[in-house]
């Protein structure tokens, strides 16, 4: 019991530890997953900032190029990039300012870039107005405005380049953190898998131990129950024999007196035919009572055995030969499954054939004619020889099974109820056991266990 309790505590502790380890690993995986999502969003944020920075640089260059193309060709279509830049550049600056709201240095750079670009766009706007008002002639003032704008343009590009480099550096750091968390997630997944594997192994081992312990305890309990049942059967049989001997003693004394009295009355009465008939009736019934008492004694007392080593398969064959007429009359099919191993037992051959014959006859009477199947099998198990006799008859319920071996108990119209009692007596005389398994409508199985002869046991 203490061993089982210790095993239960170990199993419980193992499962709790496995659960806590799995819970811890899954919490870490969840944390890593959340960080992965956050770092992925930060990397995407950096990409968005870089894309907007590139778009700002492109718009500024396109505005500058469009203005120069207009001055050279005087075609309005070259002013479209310049006019579009007047709308998109402020929007891009505002978006960059929003994206970098948590980075003070980047905010400073974007403010400087926006100031330079506004100044540059103002110069271009005044130059364009001067160019158009002077009849599309490039004046010295216009040239100076364009040249002075080159310095601010270079400054703007320099700030944009610094802004981009800072964001690329920030994105590189974010990518490294993201890669680190990816590696961490991979490691945590492997750890979780290892924990699950060891938990599975531990569960399998503990389950097998618990199952084996339970099987062993169940086996011991069943063996104890069977031993207890056998002791009760033996005690019941002994008590029945003791009662039978007492009854026989108490019945035979007055019965003997009755028989002596009837014999004397016969000698005194030689002419009255009716009296003679009555006396003969008394004699016959007294003899019948005497025979019943003798049968009861024979069925419930331990008797002398004339034992010899016998092949159990051969003994069954000889018993079947004795029951051949009954088997043929009822058209019973006999199926044999004898053990090929030599199974010799030390028994009183004639008495054991009587015990087996009683079981076979009862099986034949329990089966329907032309539908009966009688199965006989033998085998060795744990140093014992086991004989099984199975039929497909009507079977027996629990109430009948409890009274099956009691003297004078029978469910047959013409039975005397001593056949199976005698069978049990013979088997108990041989230090064997007899067990019956049956259900109503599902036939019956008689299992007889006998000790094998010593020389056969040594061989096996």
In a domain, 219, yes or no: no
Q: Domain for residue 216, yes or no? A: no
Average pLDDT of span 404-426: 77
Q: How far apart are CA 108 and CA 406, in angstroms?
A: 110
Strands 384-391 and 433-438: unpaired
Last residue of a domain, one of 300, 318, 350: 300
Distance, CA of 156 to CA of 159 (rounded, Å): 5
Are 60 and 39 contained in the same domain? yes
Mean per-residue pLDDT for 94-105?
84
Say which residues have a Cβ less than 8 Å from residue 220's Cβ, sequence separation at least 6. Answer: none
Confidence of residue 459 (pLDDT cuts 50, 70, 90): very low
Q: Are residues 313 and 296 both part of a single domain?
A: no
Please indicate, yes or no, whether residues 254 and 378 belong to a single structural domain of this protein.
no
22 and 150, same domain (yes or no): yes
- Angle, nearest 10°, between helix axes 140-268 and 419-429? 100
Neighbour order of strands in the sheet with 384-391: 333-337, 373-381, 384-391, 444-451, 433-438
- For 170-217, the pLDDT digits (tens) are 888 878 877 887 787 778 778 777 877 777 787 778 777 777 777 787
One domain, residues 293 and 322:
no
Both 381 and 333 in one domain: the answer is: yes
In whole angstroms, what is the distance from residue 261 CA to residue 259 CA? Answer: 5
Last residue within a domain, chosen from 300, 325, 346: 300
8 Å CB contact between 320 and 374: no
Q: How far apart are the first and last CA of the chain?
A: 35
φ/ψ of 421, rounded to 5, equals -60, -45
H/E run at residue 308? strand 308-311
Q: Which DSSP string corresponds to 161-223?
A: HHHHHHHHHHHHHHHHHHHHHHHHHHHHHHHHHHHHHHHHHHHHHHHHHHHHHHHHHHHHHHH
What pLDDT sits at residue 147? Answer: 64
Residue 15 CA to residue 105 CA, distance in Å, equals 54
Is residue 428 domain-shared with residue 287, that is, in the same domain?
no
Q: Are 267 and 336 contained in the same domain?
A: no
Q: Which residues pair with 378 in a beta bridge?
A: 387
The maximal CA–CA distance of the chain, rounded, in angstroms, is: 184
CATH number of 237's domain: 1.10.287
Q: Are residues 329 and 405 in the same domain?
A: yes
What percent of the chain stands above pLDDT 90?
11
Of 300, 323, 349, the position where a domain reaches its end is 300
**Residue (of 323, 325, 331) closest to 419 by Cα position:** 323
Q: How many residues does the chain have?
A: 460
- Residues 259, 314 within the same domain: no
Which CATH number is 343's domain given?
3.30.565.10
Segment holding 460, helix H or strand E: none
Residue 220 resides in a domain: no
Question: 199 and 70: one domain?
Answer: yes
Looking at residue 317, its pLDDT comes to 92
- Quote the CA–CA distance of 421 and 405 in Å, as a whole number: 5
Total domains, the chain: 3
Whole-number Å distance between alpha carbons of 167 and 51: 11
- Over residues 288-336, the pLDDT tens digits come to 777 777 766 666 665 677 888 888 899 999 999 999 988 999 999 999 9
Q: Which of 162, 51, 156 is nearest to 96 (CA)?
A: 51
Between 454 and 30, name the one with better pLDDT.
30
Which residue spans within 416-457 are E strands per DSSP?
433-438, 444-451
Element (H, E) at 131: helix 104-133
Nearest in space to 420 (alpha carbons), one of 354, 340, 345: 354
In this prediction, residues 357-369 reach a mean pLDDT of: 91
| Cβ 91 vs Cβ 106: under 8 Å | no
Is 214 within a domain? no
> Does one domain contain both 424 and 291?
no
Look at residue 85 and tell me whether its pLDDT is greater than 80: yes
Domain contains 212: no
Query: Quick check: 335 and 373 in contact, CB under 8 A?
Result: yes
| Strand (E) or helix (H) holding 378 | strand 373-381
Reduced DSSP (H G I as helix, E B as strand, rest coil) percent helix, strand, coil of the chain, to 5: 75, 10, 15
Is 265 or 401 the better-scoring residue by pLDDT?
Answer: 401
The residue segments making up the domain with residue 419 are: 308-459
Distance between CA 362 and CA 247 in Å, rounded? 28
Give, for 90, the enclosing helix (H) or strand (E). helix 80-99
Decide if pLDDT at 375 tops 90. yes
Query: Nearest CA to 260 among 291, 282, 275?
Result: 282
């Amino acid at each position: 019991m203490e061993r089982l309790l210790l095993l239960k505590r170990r199993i419980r502790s193992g499962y709790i530890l496995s659960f806590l380890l799995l819970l811890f690993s899954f919490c870490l995986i969840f944390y890593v997953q959340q960080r992965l999502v956050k770092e992925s969003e930060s990397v995407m944020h950096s990409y968005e900032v870089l894309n907007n920075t590139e778009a700002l640089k492109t718009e500024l260059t396109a505005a500058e190029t469009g203005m120069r193309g207009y001055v050279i060709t005087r075609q309005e279509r070259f002013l479209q990039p310049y006019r579009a830049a007047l709308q998109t550049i402020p929007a891009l600056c505002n978006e960059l300012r929003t994206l970098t709201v948590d980075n003070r240095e980047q905010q400073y750079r974007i403010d400087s870039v926006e100031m330079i670009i506004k100044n540059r766009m103002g110069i271009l706007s005044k130059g364009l107005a001067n160019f158009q008002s002077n009849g599309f002639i490039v004046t010295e003032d216009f040239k100076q405005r364009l040249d002075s704008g080159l310095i601010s343009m270079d400054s703007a590009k320099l700030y944009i380049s610094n802004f981009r480099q800072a964001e690329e550096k920030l994105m590189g750091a974010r990518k490294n953190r993201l890669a680190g968390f990816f590696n961490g997630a991979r490691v945590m997944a492997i750890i979780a898998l290892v924990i699950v594997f060891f938990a599975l192994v531990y569960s399998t081992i503990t389950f097998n131990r618990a199952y084996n312990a339970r099987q062993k305890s169940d086996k011991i309990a069943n063996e104890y129950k069977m031993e207890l049942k056998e002791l009760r059967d033996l005690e019941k049989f002994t008590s029945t024999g003791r009662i039978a001997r007492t009854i026989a003693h108490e019945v035979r004394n007055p019965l003997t007196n009755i028989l002596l009295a009837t014999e004397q009355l016969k000698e005194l009465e030689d002419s009255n035919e009716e009296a003679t008939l009555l006396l003969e009736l008394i004699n016959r019934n007294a003899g019948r009572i005497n025979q019943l008492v003798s049968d009861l004694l024979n069925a419930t007392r331990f008797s002398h055995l004339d034992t010899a080593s016998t092949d159990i398969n051969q003994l069954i064959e000889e018993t079947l030969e004795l029951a051949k007429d009954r088997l043929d009359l009822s058209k019973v099919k006999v199926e044999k499954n004898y053990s090929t191993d030599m199974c010799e037992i030390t028994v009183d051959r004639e008495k054991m054939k009587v015990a087996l014959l009683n079981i076979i006859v009862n099986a034949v009477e329990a089966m329907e004619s032309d539908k009966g199947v009688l199965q006989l099998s033998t085998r060795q198990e744990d140093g014992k020889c086991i004989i099984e006799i199975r039929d497909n008859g009507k079977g027996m319920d629990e109430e009948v099974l409890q009274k099956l071996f009691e003297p004078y108990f029978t469910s047959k119209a013409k039975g005397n109820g001593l056949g199976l009692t005698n069978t049990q007596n013979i088997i108990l005389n041989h230090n064997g056991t007899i067990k019956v398994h049956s259900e109503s409508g599902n036939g019956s199985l008689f299992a007889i266990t006998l000790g094998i002869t010593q020389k056969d046991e040594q061989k096996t």
